[in-house]
Amino acid sequence: MPSSVPASTQPCLEAAHLELTEAGAALARAASAYQQQVFLDVTADWDPDERAHFARQFVRFAGALMVRLQETQR
């Protein structure tokens, strides 16, 4: 999938530095807390080893997804 950003502006975007506002940071914290609570709720009856295995595999999946998304932006 090609990037929708013109190639001539891509170097500028790579050098950009963005910071969250306090409201944005609060929203990010709330989203993270919600995600963690959902994970705990869904896996509440799982064995601790099953949760740990799932977490490792999910982190592996997320990492591979990020690599793929970065590759499609080139």
Q: How many domains does the chain have?
A: 1
12 falls within a domain: yes
55 falls within a domain: yes
Question: What pLDDT, on a 0 to 100 scale, did the predictor assign at position 74?
Answer: 79
Give the structural domain span for 34.
7-72
Report how far residue 45's alpha carbon sits from residue 51's, in angstroms, rounded to the nearest whole number. Answer: 10
22 falls within a domain: yes
Q: Mean pLDDT of residues grouped by 10 in the chain (74 residues)?
A: 53 72 96 95 96 95 95 86
Tokens describing residue 28:
């990010």
**Cα maximum dimension of the chain:** 52
Question: What pLDDT, on a 0 to 100 scale, did the predictor assign at position 18?
Answer: 85
Confidence (pTM):
0.57
Q: Quick one: residue 66, left, alpha or beta (phi over 0 = left, psi -120 to 50 = alpha)?
A: alpha
2 falls within a domain: no
Question: What pLDDT, on a 0 to 100 scale, did the predictor assign at position 1?
Answer: 44
Question: What pLDDT, on a 0 to 100 scale, did the predictor assign at position 73?
Answer: 86
Report how far residue 69's alpha carbon sits from residue 57's, in angstroms, rounded to the nearest whole number. Answer: 18
